[in-house]
Structure 1
C-alpha cells in the first residue's frame, strides 16, 4: 500500500507542476520548436531592385512580414521592391497552430544609384563629347564648359563648343573652332573689350604647339593663330593686364616663358626664364604675398622617339617683379619614365597653396605636396592614362580627381582621408558653389549604331558632392 500511495503522490505532483508551469506562462516542451527565420538574396540592393526573401521558419502556419516601408505581406517567401533609399528593418512574426508567436528581424540597405544624382545632357548617338575646361562666365555669372565634340559616324573633324548652363542646367551651345591635332587642355580669357580669347593645346608625339582663337561678344571670329613652337598654359590677371605663362621655342630650345598682355589681349612684353639647363615649361602659376610661384618641368626635346625624355617637375619661385629667385626640382617624381612625347604635355596642371602654407601640385597623374619652401613631403602617382583631371583647394584640405574614377580628399600633409568612386573619368575643373563641389565630367561608354555596331564614345554629365565627398542632389547646389 505504501508503494501505491507513493505512485499516486508522484502523479499528482507531476500534474500539479505542469498546471503551475502553464499558469506562469511557460511553454510546454512540445511547443518550443516554433522558430521565426528568413534569409535574403543580398543585404544591399539598388533602388528599384527586387529583394527576394526565403522563409526558413519551423512549425509556423501563419507569416506576417513588415518590410519597414509601410508595406506588409502574409506570403511565406515574399519579394519586395523599395522606392526610396536608406536602411530598412524587415520584421517577420510567425504563429503556430496554437497561436504562439516568434519574431525575427533583419536590416537591409537600399542604395540610391549613382546615376540618379547626375544630369546627363543630350548627346546624339555616335557623337563623343568630352569636357576640357570649366569655369564661371564673368558676364552672365553662369557655369560654362568647353566641349570637344567628335562625330564618330560621319568621321567629320572634331569641333570645340562653348556650353553655358542656366539654373535649369540645360546647356546653350556656341561653336568656337575645328580641332587641330590633339587637344586635352584649354581655357578662355574674358578680355576687357568683351572678346573671348580661347587657347587650345595642339600636339602630336613630336609637335608641341597651340591654337589661339579670339571671338567677339557676338561669337564672330576676330583673330586666329596656330603655333607649332609655343603654348601658353594659362594666365593671371594683374590690374588691367594679364600675365600668361607657358613655353616657347627660342634658338632651338623650348624655354619657360612669361608673356604680358594688355586688357585687349595684345602682347607687349615677352620674358624667357632660365629655370634649368634643359628645355622648360611653366604649366600653372599662383600669386603669393611675396611674389609668384609656378609649377612646371624641365625636359629634353628630341627629334626621334622618345620625343620627350628626362622629364622632371619643378617649382619656380619669383619675386614681385617676376625675377626667378629659386627653382626646386621635385626629385621624388616618377614621371621621367612616363612622359615620353609632346602629347603627354597636353593636359590639366594644377598648383594650390593651402592654409598652412604648404603647396600641392598635380599633373600627368602625379600629386606632390611640399612645404612653403618647396621641400617635398609626399608624392602619389596614380596614372597617366587620362590627363584631364581636377584639383581644388578647400583651405586646410584639398580634393583631386583621378583617372581610375575616384574623387580623393587629402589633408595638408598629403595624406588621403576620404575617397568616392563616381561614374566619370574626365574632370577638367571642380567649382565650389554654395559650399558644394560642382563638376562637369566625362565617362566612357558605348553607342549602338545600326549598320555599324558598337562605338566607344565619351559622354558628359553634371554632378556635385559635399566637402566630405558625399554625392548630393544638384538642386541643393543652386537653391
Structure 2
C-alpha cells in the first residue's frame, strides 16, 4: 500500500507541474534559454565616430536599445554616433516570442578631442614656434613665455621672442635676439632695477656655453654676453640679489659654480665648488630649512668623441653659507650611456622637495626619487624625444611631462598614479594659477605650402588641467 500511494503521489506531482507549465506556455528551462548580449566595436571612441554594436543574444525576437543619449533603436545590430563627450551606458532589452525579457548593459567612453580644450596662437605657415620657457612676470603678474621661431622655408637665422599673455590670452610679442648655436633652455631673471636679464643655452657637440641678454623696460638692449666657458642654469632670489648656479671653466676644468649678483645684475661673489674629481655642473637648486640642495652631475669633458662621458647625476647638500656638507651620487641612473656631447646638457632640469621630505629630480628623461638624505627610492627613465620637459610639485604629489606626449602624476615614492595623453611634445614649465595648472606646449604637425608641399613643423598651444590631470578650458584658469 505504501508503494501504491507513493506512485499516485508522484504521478499527481508530475501532472500538476505539467499543467502549471502549460498555463505559462513555457517550461522554466525554456525561460533560462533567453539571453541578452551585444559587443561593441570599441570601448572608447572619439567624438563623432560611429560605434558598431553586434548582437549576440540567444532566442530573442525583439531588440530594444537605449544608447544613453536620448536615442533608441530596435535594430538587431545598430550603430550609433555620439555628439557629446563623456561616459554612456548602453542598455539592451530583448524579448522572446512569449514576451519574456532579459537585459544587458555596457558602458563606453566618448573622448572629446583634447584640441578642443586648447588655444592656438597664430604662427605663420612654414615656421616653427617652440616654447622654451614659461613664467609669471613679478611686476605685472602676467604670464610670459620665451619662443624660438624658426623659418623653415627661407632658412633664416632662428630668433627668440618674449611673449606675454594678459587675461584675454592674446600674446604680445617682443624680439630679443638671434639664436647662437643650439638652444633648448632659457630663463628670465627680473632684476631689481626693472631690467630683464635673459639667459639662453648655447652649445655645439663640443661647445659648452651660454648667451646672456639684458633689456630695459623699453626693450632696448643694455648688455649682451656670449660665453664659451660658462653656463648658468638658473637662479634663486635672495631679497634684491640673485644666487645663480651652473658651471664655469677654471684652469681647464668645468667646475660647479655659484655666482651672487646684485639688483643691477652685477656679480659680486663667484664661488667655485669642487664636486668629484673631474668636471661638474649644478643644474637646479632649492632652499631648505638647513641650507640648500642642488641637483647636478659630474662628467668627463673630452676633445674627441665622445665629448661628454661618464655622466653621473648627483645631489649636493650645502649649509647656509654654501659650504658643501654632502654629495650623493644617483647611482641608479642610466644616463651615463645616453649623454655623449654638450648638446645633451642644455635642456631643462628640475629639483623639488615634497611635503614628506622626499626629493625628486628630473632631467634628460630620467626621474629619480630619494628620501631627504638622498637615499634611493625609485628611478624611471623615459625615452628622450626632446629635453624640454616640465615638473611641478603639488605638495605630497608631483607631475612631470614626458616627450611621448604625456603628463604623468606620481605619489611621493615615485609610483605613477595617473597620466594624460595631452598630445604635445614640449613643455618647459607648468604654472599653478588659482589652484589649476597652466602650460604652454609645443606639438608636431604639418604645414602645407604652395609650391613646396608638406613641411613638418612645431607649433605652440596653451592648455590647462586640474590637479588630477583632467583637461579644463584654458580660460577657466582665471576664474
Taking structure 1 as the reference length, the TM-score comes to 0.88
SS at match of 1:418: strand
Structure 1's 301 and 94: CA in aligned 2 closer, same or farther, altered over 3 A? Answer: closer
SS at match of 1:124: coil
Structure 1's 258 and 94: CA in aligned 2 closer, same or farther, altered over 3 A? Answer: closer
| Contact kept in structure 2, 1:180 and 1:211, CA below 8 Å | yes
Structure 1's 140 and 75: CA in aligned 2 closer, same or farther, altered over 3 A? Answer: same
Aligned to 1:443: 443
Residue segments in structure 1 that go unaligned for 5+ positions in a row:
1-13
Q: CA deviation at 1:190?
A: 1.0
SS at match of 1:68: coil
SS at match of 2:477: helix
RMSD: 2.7
The whole-number CA distance in structure 2 between the counterparts of 1:15 and 1:262 is 105
Aligned to 2:135: 135
The whole-number CA distance in structure 1 between the counterparts of 2:20 and 2:377 is 77
Aligned to 2:277: 277
Aligned to 2:82: 82
SS at match of 1:305: coil
SS at match of 1:408: strand
The whole-number CA distance in structure 1 between the counterparts of 2:449 and 2:401 is 31
Q: CA deviation at 1:250?
A: 1.8
Residue segments in structure 2 that go unaligned for 5+ positions in a row:
1-13
| Contact kept in structure 2, 1:134 and 1:143, CA below 8 Å | yes
Structure 1's 358 and 77: CA in aligned 2 closer, same or farther, altered over 3 A? Answer: closer
Q: CA deviation at 1:17?
A: 8.8
| Contact kept in structure 1, 2:190 and 2:197, CA below 8 Å | yes
CA displacement 1:46-69 (0-9 Å, x = unmatched): 111122345566787765443221
Q: CA deviation at 1:144?
A: 1.4
Aligned to 2:121: 121
SS at match of 2:154: coil
SS at match of 2:110: strand
Q: 1:162-311, aligned counterparts within 5 Å? A: 162-311=162-311
Q: CA deviation at 1:36?
A: 6.0
The whole-number CA distance in structure 2 between the counterparts of 1:269 and 1:258 is 8
Taking structure 2 as the reference length, the TM-score comes to 0.88
Q: CA deviation at 1:330?
A: 2.1
SS at match of 1:343: helix
Structure 1's 413 and 105: CA in aligned 2 closer, same or farther, altered over 3 A? Answer: closer
The whole-number CA distance in structure 2 between the counterparts of 1:87 and 1:288 is 45
CA displacement 1:441-473 (0-9 Å, x = unmatched): 112222222322222211222222222223333
| Contact kept in structure 1, 2:205 and 2:307, CA below 8 Å | yes
Q: Does 1:346 align with 2:346?
A: yes
SS at match of 2:286: strand
Q: Does 1:381 align with 2:361?
A: no
Aligned to 2:99: 100
Q: CA deviation at 1:196?
A: 0.8
Which is further off, 402-411 or 262-271?
402-411
SS at match of 2:115: helix
Aligned to 1:8: none
Q: CA deviation at 1:246?
A: 1.0
The whole-number CA distance in structure 2 between the counterparts of 1:176 and 1:113 is 35
Structure 1's 109 and 419: CA in aligned 2 closer, same or farther, altered over 3 A? Answer: closer
SS at match of 1:400: strand
The whole-number CA distance in structure 2 between the counterparts of 1:28 and 1:345 is 78
Q: CA deviation at 1:347?
A: 0.4
Q: Does 1:153 align with 2:153?
A: yes
The whole-number CA distance in structure 2 between the counterparts of 1:20 and 1:318 is 89
Structure 1's 366 and 91: CA in aligned 2 closer, same or farther, altered over 3 A? Answer: closer
